[in-house]
Every structure is written in C-alpha cells, then in structure tokens.
Structure 1
Amino acid sequence: MKLRHLVCACALASMSFAPALNAQTIETERADIELQTVAQGLENPWGLAFLPDGSMLVTERTGTMRKVGADGEVSEPLTGLPEIFVRGQGGLLDVAVDPNYADNGWIYFSYSEPGDGGNSTALARAKLDGKALVELELIFSQQPKVSSNNHFGSRIVFKGDGTLFLTLGDRYSRMDDAQTLDNHHGKVIRINTDGSVPADNPFVDTEGALPEIWSYGHRNMQGATVHPQTGELWSGEHGAQGGDELNIDRAGLNYGWPVVTYGEDYGGGKIGEGFKKEGMETPIYYWLPSLATAGLTFYTGDVFPKWKGDIFVASLRAETLSRLDIEGERVLHEERLLADELGERLRHVVQGPKGYLYLLTDASDGKIIRIAPAD
C-alpha cells in the first residue's frame, strides 16, 4: 500500500489535506476498501472526536490537543490545557464531545494528572473558543495517586442518559487494588457530566465503597463504546502476556483481574487462580496471544452496509483492525484487516459523521487515516 505523505511545514504548525494517491484497493470479506490519509505529522495521537461541523479534535499523548479541519488542515496546539504528566503510557489521552454540544459547548478529555503521591488519571471538561480551551473544570481525579508510568486507561463514553463512563487502569504496580472498592484502580466509573455521582450507581449505598464505581476487577481498558441498540457498555481490556478481553460492562459486576485471567506473567508464570471463578465474569471474547487492544467502536453507518452491527477493534502490538461479527452477546467470527497493507500500531478507530471509519496510528509521525469504499 502506498499512502501519500503530506509535507509538514514549521514543525506541525500547518498541514493540509490530501487523499491517498493511487490508493490500492483492499479486498475484505464484506467490502472493498481504500485507505486515505487525512492528516499526518501528529505526535502519538491518542483520542479523536468529531465536532458538529465535521472538524475533529485530536489529542497527542505528548500533551497537546489540535483541531483538524474537515479539509485536513491541522491547527497549532490549543491553549488552556492543565498540567499533564507525560511519561511512559501517561500524557493527554482521550477526548469526547458532549452529545448536547450544540447547546452547552462542552468537550471532555482525560489525562495523566500529577500531584501528591505521584499521578493518576483525571477527567476535565472545557469549552472551545477559537484556539483556546476556556472554562476548564476538573470533574474527576482517580484516587489514590501512585508513582507509576503505566496503565492509565482511559476511554470516555457517554451513556445517553446524562451520565458518562470513564475506564481506569490498575496502574500496573497496584493490580490487587482492582478487587477492592475503596480505590479507583482497575475500575470503570460512571458520573454525571458535571462530575457528580448518579443516585442509581451500584455502590452508592455500600459502606467503604467509592460511589463513582460502576464495575471492577479490570486491568487496563483502552477501548470502550456503547452498543447502539441496547445502550450497554462494551469494553476492550489489555491482558498481561496474552488474554486481551472483550467484555460487556454491567453495573456492580467483578471482571476478575488479577484473580482470573487468560494471560500469564511477563517472562512466564501463572497469575491468579485460573480462567474462571464463581462471582467473577468471563469475557465474551478473548485473544491469545494478545493484540494489545486499543480503541473500539460499533459500526452503524450506511457506506458499508454489510458491516452494520459489527464491532471494530484497533490494536497496537498486532497492528491490525479486527472486525467482529456480533450476534446478541456472542462473537461469531473475527476478520483481521490491514496488518499487511498498513502495518502500523493502531491507537483508535472512530466512525465519522458520514459513515466512514477513521484510524489513528500510534507513532511520532502519526496519521489520521480514513477507510472509504473502494469506489
């Protein structure tokens, strides 16, 4: 596959749109596709969200956020971000646009927050005023902070009822915390969009439990999305050495880490007690060996009618985009795309407003790539 490389002038200050030249047609099981480079020169892009006018907000893990126009022009870094811990897997992470953005103007972003005791994942919201973020509000901060460069999570997903989910990693060195409810490590939280706690959260009345917690027993979830029909949260989770998972995250349930897992310790060695245990959920699908799953999304568009209802999973280590045939709560079949044609770490996959899929490549010269019909 030959993708056109865009020339960057003034160190990312100005980039312009150009689709792929002589794009190679890629035959997949259900659609013929081509890849189009929308923008290039992004530094380890992590999150992508569309604004109502078709432009995009893109986060770079190195601590900057940019606006990418519908024509592919990339802005200078937006001003107004808080202090961010940038090291290892930490930095500026996900970004999401409020479903009621036209009325309230809020955008949300997650990041690694420095502070007493180390760092943790935080969630803030702000409004966009030209090239600046204004009215910044910190609405959640993972507790406790620890000195770790790993396993921050984190995806932001709106539930559709005025609440949102945020996935949180176990911070690597604190994996046993995932099994207790007095901390935010290895949890999914659910909060209102202003940061307050919904009254119907599962542990609101549980003594000693943090009321934000929705589910627990997780390792490091870097993908999450809501099912377009059921409204339930589906999440992708990194295993250790093997054992990446796809789960349906439900209120109050324990997803097992580190007691049950299909993975093993790095360098070999058993983790926990096995694959299953009463009172702990098993994934609806898992990968051995690991793909290093990242962003995921259900496809609901019209430009690829044979993909409707499928879930797409981006992966880092395997450098693939997996398409999973879903029937109810079962995965019937997996098709792996783009490993040969693209061969890049994929951080995220997002469905755009016209039904195309957009990919973020995780590299110091990262790209936004659009998947379009071959015709």
Structure 2
Amino acid sequence: MTDRVRIDLGARGYDVLLGPGALAAARRHDVLRSPRRYAVLADANVLRLCSGLVAGALEGLDVAGAPIEIPEGERAKSFATLEMVLGRMLDLGLERGDAVLAIGGGVTGDLAGLAAALYKRGMDVIQVPTTLLAMADSSVGGKTAINMPQGKNLIGVFHQPSFVIAEFGFLDTLPDRERQAGFAEIIKTALIGDRDFFGRLEAAGQNGLTIKHLQAHLKTAITFKAAIVAADEREAGPRALLNLGHTFGHALESEACGALLHGEAVAAGMALAFDYSVRLGLCPDKDAARVRDYLELAGLKTRLSALPGRPFTPEAMLQRMRHDKKNSGGHIRLVLARGIGNAILHDQADSADLLHFLKDQIQ
C-alpha cells in the first residue's frame, strides 16, 4: 500500500507517493502521462541495477531519445555535466511543456532539477528517487545545485518538482551502507523537532530499516519536512533547521574526496553538532550521548577517526565551513540543539572556539 504526502505550496504544491507500488499508483493517478515528452536523467548504476523498474516507469511514455546518462557520484554535480545535459535536451528538441524525469539518488535529482529550472527559463521535473536518502530528503523541497571546488551545493536555485514518486522497489537494489546512510536523514528529522519520534526509532532499534518500519518512518520524516517547506520555502527562517549536521557534514564530505557518503557525513555532523551544543552549555550531555549511541546502533560512524577518507585536519575543516552557503554577515551559522527534538540556529559561531573544538574531536 502506498502513502501520499502533500507539499502545500498553493498552485505550485505537489504530492509525494511513497511505498511499494508507488510507480503503479502514479500511473493510476495519471502523473506520468502523454502527450508531453520526457527527458530521462539517470546514471549508469541505476540503468544497470534497476533496468526493470526503469523500463516499467517509462512504459507507454513518449521518451525523447535514450536516457541522458550522467556520471556516478558527486563529480556529476559540475558545470561540465550540467552543460552536457542542457545540450542534450536542446538536441532532443524539448519544449517548455515537456518534463525532465529524474531517476536516481540525490545527485541525479539535484542536477536534473537545476537543468529543468534553467532550460528555456523553466520546465517541470518529476523526481523518482532510488535511494533512501533521496526519498527522505533531497527529492522533496525544490533545492537544486551543483558543487564548486570550495564546497558542496554552492551554485543552484529553488525549483520545486511537479511530483515525487518514492518507489520502494528501488530500495531492494541498495547495499546496506547506502540504506544506513539514507537513514541518517530520517534520524535528522527526529533530532530537529520530534523527540517522541526519536524514542520510537530507539525502540525499533536495528529493525528500523526493515520495510515493516521504514515506510512509517519515511512518511513521518517527509510530513515533517513538508510542513517546514510550506512555511519557509526559500529557507529565510525555520527551514534552515533542516541543515542540522550539514555544516560539519559538508566539510567532512568535501575533505573526504568521495570516500564518504552524504548520509554518513551528515550523521557524523549531527554528532558533532550535539557535542558542540554541549560545549556551549546548550544541550544536556546525556542527549548528545543518546544521539551518538543511536547513530552507531544504526550503523553510522560518529568518531572522525573511524570515517573513511584521508585524515581530517581542523584547519581544512574550518575553511570549508567558512564557505558554507548558510553563513551570514561573515559569521559561520550552525544548526545546534538544546536537546533531542529541539534544534536551534546559532548565528555567530566563534571561529577560534570552533577550531579548538575540531582539534579535540580529531585527536
């Protein structure tokens, strides 16, 4: 059985269908329809591992040529790949009334969304996330971006999808590491604003990643995000709280040079955010300990020395954080916490104190 969550943005609002059979449900609701043409974006991994599901999604649609294949991983989020995608779309003769169909993880969704926003000043994009991380977070909310050498997601626009189809059949193709990384974004929701949800996650333990629990957890996370996006689409206020763990996490991810999955970086970043909150006297130490314990139980490493990639240095981490897009007035802006389920914005983090904190964490 599929669930439906509404992202209420007035005339630009849209639905998220999630669960086993979401693609079939989308067809019943006439989400994927002709006569419009579709440009399909996917990476080689998705086209290989999910060929049956992809073929089913495209059956009966007027697909413009072969799928536009993009590189795997974060390296696809570049000006070069964006230019290639836009060039292919022009060669295919797409019109503004057509649509981009993004089938893949967060990278594919980010790139496809940005291409759709730019092409002839904007066309529809339908997100078909194939990873748990993309289902829980990046496919919902309209953020699109590519990376720069200075950091992640620094060039982009807000461009809401016209629909999101979170088909659970894709999750069967994911290795455990990918599932665990995606689960970090569900945990994040509880840490930001739902202490009771965190208690339910703890109670489920390692069973939280089974389909029996996962659909309910994912629906809770998307419903939580939907309310925040509806209230603050452009991240002028409370939507910034959804970046819990991301300032530290993006720095870790960039420094790891591809060895660290986004969800793994966010998980470690959330542990750092809670530890730094304790350092500032904002958060009880017992809450930070619960966060670390549960993340580790979920298979997510929280100690920097245990993370894959080259050794992290405090100075390089801090420099990455100085380029974070959430910063304001020349100050590093962090999402911290007064406790589990009570995230707050901390607008003027002290760089010298952050450096000392990072040195302590990296030792």
Q: TM-score, normalised by structure 1?
A: 0.28
Q: TM-score, normalised by structure 2?
A: 0.28
